[in-house]
Amino acid sequence: MLIYDLDFTTLDNTLKEWNEPAYRARQIWQGLYQHLYDSPERFSNLSKSLREKLAREFTFPPFTVKTCLDSADKSTRKTLFQLPDGNLIEAVLMRYGDPADDHEARNAKTRRTLCISTQAGCAMGCVFCATGQMGFKRNLSSGEIVAQAMYYAQMLKAQNEPVSNIVFMGMGEPFHNYENVMMAIDRLNDPGGFKFGARRMTISTVGLVPQIKRFADEMRQVNLAVSLHAADDEERLTIMPINKKYKIRDVIEACKYYIEKTRRRVTFEWALIEGVNDSPEAAKRLASRLKGLLCHVNVIPLNPTHGYHGGASNGARAQTFKQTLEKEGIPCTIRMRRGVDINAGCGQLAAYTGQEM
Taking CB under 6 A as the criterion, the residue among 31, 61, 132, 310 binding ligand SF4 is: 132
14 binds ligand SAH (CB under 6 A): no
Nearest distance from C-beta of residue 278 to ligand SF4, angstroms: 17
133 binds ligand SAH (CB under 6 A): no
Which amino acid is it at 226?
Answer: V
Residue 90 a catalytic site member: yes
**Cβ–Cβ < 8 Å for 14, 22:** no
Instruction: List binders of ligand SAH among 146-205 (CB under 6 A).
Output: 169, 173, 204-205
Taking CB under 6 A as the criterion, the residue among 113, 165, 180, 305 binding ligand SAH is: 305
Taking CB under 6 A as the criterion, the residue among 206, 239, 286, 350 binding ligand SF4 is: 206
Give, rounded to a whole angstrom, the gap between the first and last alpha carbons of the chain.
35
Residue 346 a catalytic site member: yes
Taking CB under 6 A as the criterion, the residue among 2, 153, 206, 224 binding ligand SAH is: 206
Residue 300 contact among ligand SF4, ligand SAH, none, beta carbon within 5 to 8 Å by kind: ligand SAH
Residue 167 contact among ligand SF4, ligand SAH, none, beta carbon within 5 to 8 Å by kind: none
Nearest distance from C-beta of residue 269 to ligand SF4, angstroms: 9
90, 144, 173, 269: which one is catalytic? 90
- How far apart (Å, rounded) are the C-alpha atoms in residues 339 and 92? 9
90 binds ligand SAH (CB under 6 A): no
Taking CB under 6 A as the criterion, the residue among 182, 269, 338, 342 binding ligand SAH is: 269
Scanning the chain, the segments in alpha helix (DSSP H) are 8-17, 24-33, 48-57, 103-109, 130-134, 142-158, 178-189, 209-217, 233-239, 248-262, 280-290, 315-327, 348-352
Strand partners, 184: none
122 binds ligand SF4 (CB under 6 A): yes
Give Cα 222 to chain centroid, integer Å: 12
Instruction: List binders of ligand SF4 among 212-231 (CB under 6 A).
Output: 227
Which amino acid is it at 138?
Answer: R
- From 142, 119, 154, select the one nearest 37 (Cα to Cα): 154
Quick one: CA dihedral 97, 101, 103, 109, positive or negative?
negative
Quick one: CA dihedral 131, 136, 140, 144, positive or negative?
negative
Strand partners, 185: none
Strand partners, 115: 92, 167
Q: Which residues bind ligand SF4 (CB under 6 A)?
A: 122, 124-126, 129, 131-132, 172-173, 206, 227, 346
Catalytic residues: 90, 346
Q: Which residues bind ligand SAH (CB under 6 A)?
A: 126, 128-129, 169, 173, 204-206, 227, 269, 271, 300, 302-303, 305, 345-346
